Amino acid sequence: MAYRAPVRDFQFIFDHVVDFGQVVQTDRFAEATPDVTEAILTEAGKLCSDVLAPLQREGDMHPAVLENGVVRTSPGFGDGYRAIAEGGWIGISAPSEYGGMGLPMTVTTAVNEMMAGACLSLQLNPLMSQGQIEALEHHASDALKELYLPKLISGEWCGTMNLTEPQAGSDVGALSTKAADNGDGTYAITGQKIYISWGDNDFSENVCHLVLARLPDGAPGTKGISLFMVPKYLPNEGGSVGKANSLKVVSLEHKMGLHGSPTAVMQYDGATGWLVGEAHGGMRAMFTMMNNARLGVGGQGIGAAEGAFQHALTYAEERKQGASPIEGGTGTIIDHADVRRMLTTMKAELFAVRSIALSCAAAIDMATATGDVDWSARAAFLTPIAKAHGTDMGIEISQMGVQVHGGMGFIEETGAAQFSRDVRVTAIYEGTNGIQAMDLVARKLMDKGEAAFRLLEEVEQAAEREREMFPKKSEALWSAAESLRETTEWLLTRDDLNDRFAGAVPYLRAWARVLGAHFHLRAARAEGGDGPRTHLARFFIKRILPEHAALLIHARQGAEGLYALSPEDLAS
């Protein structure tokens, strides 16, 4: 099956669903005109379809390996990476003064999703570099920026992020990696980090690690953590690579999926590093990188879902099994009601979650371009929804893709299972989806729900405007939004955060259901109320949106019932 980048869907969402036009109207992004955007999406689509997609199976069947301390990447990955770098796709949103394109995050989100759909294992690499570029842009000294940013943006050097340790996963403050001042502007970094995506490769000149570590006077917990740039090779004066630093890849993890992406255990033994940002301000700098990385990971889930959907659709159009139950059918399994249900669900879910992610990206762009705090709050509120729901849908749609294949889905040679294996970890990356939901009901409601209520007001007003053209669909959406408003108000009355946390995951998904219906309705309006997008909107609103009611009941139950069973009861 050949992956086809969904360029037309992105262009439609830009033009009619997330109002990308307002981004282009700002001075900051005035050059991202429709013609320019269309050309960029088209070229990126060709790269993904023609160059990256053929590497998908190569990475799974011929994993990256560690040989005598050297990481050997999957066949073709070096050429694929160079095609990404030479096309300028790593620095698509990076500052132009260092060689980037300076384009909106909305465009980057679309391009990254297409690359993830084509070959998720390889796409992880530029995503890491993009996050590092952003962190350095906002927090590094001018000297570090001038040295590292051009190299990272061009793709000559790659970037990673090093947070996790064996005893410090989600609890980053428990890390034990140490940093000692060398007295010459550098620091000696000592410790071990695990789960480092693309911790090394054999196709870039240098690998630049952003490492969280604690200075001797650093306070316990996250407040005492600093961030350091620790490159594989120490740069010379002119920016060329010099001698090897005191760090190494100890081993590569044996993973469920993403076999083409080397996930390393990294050891630092007094490695030379440079402070990024202020001492003890590492978490602030790292979160600059992580917030957009969360949107990027959501896009990885959506990309994998797109690949799984296309794979399943192709199979369903070719596989003959049983008699066709419909008049004038094709004679293949796509005629069968349950197969059609699965494929239509996959298509409807993809449009909804893609629109959520691009809406989040557009809010980031508007916040960047205008400095408006309301746009910043909107972007912050949508980020955990885009990350968690994007990756949840990646998992669910890829599993559905296996099911469409029937028994052949369980056979590795078909490639259907790879999407499911590869995407599974995205629900854990950059803060588990449970943590995303907890963030939504806690930190993102610290404004007393103002950002949430503004978004709900927008949804309800849109539903009101569509009552004449879509009376039943509009009423269903308005009622769902009102129920979500009532649950948000209930959560705000809970003094015990554990009562919020207990229903955080269903609450987040209820938001995704309401926003998905909202965007589907906008698509139906843009189409004129009759056509494929209108049929898809009807399917989503009639068959998927009603889930919000049960989800909100769950969200309002509080924490007490969760503790009725003791650990002993659970084990018995």
Category of 183 on φ-ψ map: left (φ > 0), alpha (ψ -120 to 50) or beta: left
Residues linked to residue 271 through DSSP beta bridges, in sequence order:
189
Strand 206-214 vs strand 225-231: parallel, antiparallel, or unpaired?
A: antiparallel
- 162 CB-near residues (< 8 Å, 6+ apart): 193, 196, 209, 210, 211, 212, 230, 266
C-alpha 317/C-alpha 335 separation (Å) is: 9
Concatenated DSSP letters for 97-113? GGT-----HHHHHHHHH
User: Annotated catalytic residue: which of 113, 349, 396, 430?
Assistant: 430
Local structure of 266: helix, strand or coil: strand
Other beta carbons within 10 Å of 371: 10
Give the number of residues written for the chain.
572
Q: Is-contact 137 150, C-beta < 8 A?
A: no
CA-CA distances (angstroms) from residue 437 to 130, 354, 488, 506, 555? 25, 19, 13, 8, 11
Cα→Cα distances 33→11, 29, 107, 396, Å: 12, 8, 11, 35
Whole-angstrom Cα distance, residue 145 to residue 136? 6
User: Given the structure tokens 């770098």, which residue do they identify?
Assistant: 85
Q: 181, 215 in Cβ contact below 8 A? A: yes
Q: How far is it, in rounded angstroms, from Cα 33 to Cα 381?
A: 27
Q: How far apart are CA 230 and CA 272, in angstroms?
A: 6
In our burial notation (b when 16+ CB lie closer than 10 A, e otherwise), range 165-195 reads: beebeeebbebebbbeeeeeebbbbbbebbb
Answer whether 560's CB lies under 8 Å from 498's CB. no
302's tokens: 């959506």
- 160: β partners: 209
User: Does 430 participate in catalysis according to the annotation?
Assistant: yes
Looking at the annotation, which residues are catalytic?
430
